[in-house]
Structure 1
């Protein structure tokens, strides 16, 4: 009996040592990944400042998630705050005011940050869903930048990214990836498509869904999300697709406007502060695209 107790204690101690070593290695790898230099091809997009571009930029800023992280005034917003889990995330100040993180940005820096999730010096931006913005056309990227640069000065500071130890270890081992690691940086910018209720425009709008619902819209756990967040639902055709509940565009529009599913239950996690600002045209085009996706093979 004593011999088995000794073996058990020895095995437990060995596993504890292995777990500690793995955790330490994960943290070291996480620090290395956070401070790695990412080289991306950048072609600057020229500044614009006309009223039409600024208005288009205002629409993109309010409807594509920018306001959720940076706040309506661009000064930065705490959007995840769970002290018990050691988790706090705050977007940086991108207004022209004191503490602005973009005060010295040139045209190429905006492209690098928005499209590629990379800071001017090459460091990956930890909490920047650039996979959703990588396919912006040049005109939309220029419009968004024009609006941000036109914001009234507001006081703020840098981003705050406090992750619990398990999340940092997973990030270190590559189980959680930052946006810069998800993007095909060699892709050229999207070309403009006809804006209207058509599938081509719907596919362009659907790029905003990739960060949570995945590259192929299959759903699943949201990378880096708090542990109590539910998985993102499947949007692509196939078993379990939620689009079966949204046969008509009006039902999807109602979801985005109210935050409630077709059965009336509230959705726990979706950025409805932004989603409710999406235009009917964009919503109908998105619905047409999602409902028209081909069923998976096999």
Structure 2
């Protein structure tokens, strides 16, 4: 081996070693930043909504719980549920027990705590609820928020466990560097609660329903990688106008309703990631209004 070749190999070895050191330093820094973010204290002033226990509020709250994804993470009985369990990456996430039963994380919640957790993604202690998709619920009207709370406080007591948050190293590093954000970091906490919207097949009500899509499809409904999802999850579809929008597949409300009720596109292919267990329980009015709104975006 010539002297020049040996020098070149040594230089390559030095560069490779430096790259490894830099990668290890970046991983260490990302983990430190992630820990700090998870432990950060968020002082978010919130105003409690008036608690309700009337039958209409409880019924509306039960509908919202069943159709807006709450049951997907917390279980149909509120006792908690594992909703990501990926042996390949070691990612395991479970929503905690939130029913009135013993051991519930909501035991002792004051009215303001419900608002802070659901609308802002922050625990009573001021910590970010890392996987709580509060960006989907931040725009609840006070009436709907009070109704959801009414159901959570009155639902049958169940048994359950604490939250589980086992995140693989790459996800923790990305979270540390801000490539993945928790809901508390995404939400504009200064926005006032929205004005009530009359339920009906209208663009306005459809826009209100579409707030539930923001966590996966993004704040502009442009789709893309689902934040914090396992690496094998497909990207969320583009619902907004533009190249690649899937709304051309759903020319009428019946086609979108079919998707939500069956989890299948018109051609029979399955959509793998959407929470159809909840979405299938949405009312015809909500689905028709949602379709009307999404199609109106395509028209400008």
1:129-140, aligned counterparts within 5 Å?
Answer: 129-140=133-144
Q: C-alpha distance in 1, partners of 2:195/2:97? A: 30
Residue 165 (structure 2) pairs with residue 192 (structure 1):
no
Give yes or no for contact 1:237–1:293 (8 Å, CA) kept in 2: yes
- Residue 42 (structure 1) aligns with: 46
TM-score by length of 2: 0.97
Residue 253 (structure 2) pairs with residue 249 (structure 1):
yes
1:110-149, aligned counterparts within 5 Å?
Answer: 110-149=114-153
State which drifts further: 199-208 or 38-47. 38-47
- Residue 53 (structure 1) aligns with: 57
- Correspondent of 1:64 among 62, 65, 68: 68
User: 4+ runs of 1 displaced by more than 3 Å?
Assistant: none
Measured after TM superposition, the shift of residue 64 of structure 1 is 0.2
Q: C-alpha distance in 1, partners of 2:283/2:298? A: 25
- Residue 212 (structure 2) aligns with: 208
5+ residue gaps in structure 2? none
Q: C-alpha distance in 1, partners of 2:43/2:295? A: 37
Q: C-alpha distance in 1, partners of 2:224/2:299? A: 18
Query: Alpha-carbon deviations, 1:128-166, whole Å to 9, x = none?
Result: 000000000001001001101111221112211110000
5+ residue gaps in structure 1? none
Residue 230 (structure 2) pairs with residue 226 (structure 1):
yes
Q: C-alpha distance in 1, partners of 2:157/2:268? A: 41
Number of residue pairs aligned between Structure 1 and Structure 2: 296
Query: Alpha-carbon deviations, 1:77-118, whole Å to 9, x = none?
Result: 000001220100000000111210000100000000000000
The DSSP-based 3-state class of the residue aligned with 1:292 is: helix
The RMSD of aligned alpha carbons is: 0.9
Measured after TM superposition, the shift of residue 275 of structure 1 is 0.3
The DSSP-based 3-state class of the residue aligned with 1:85 is: coil
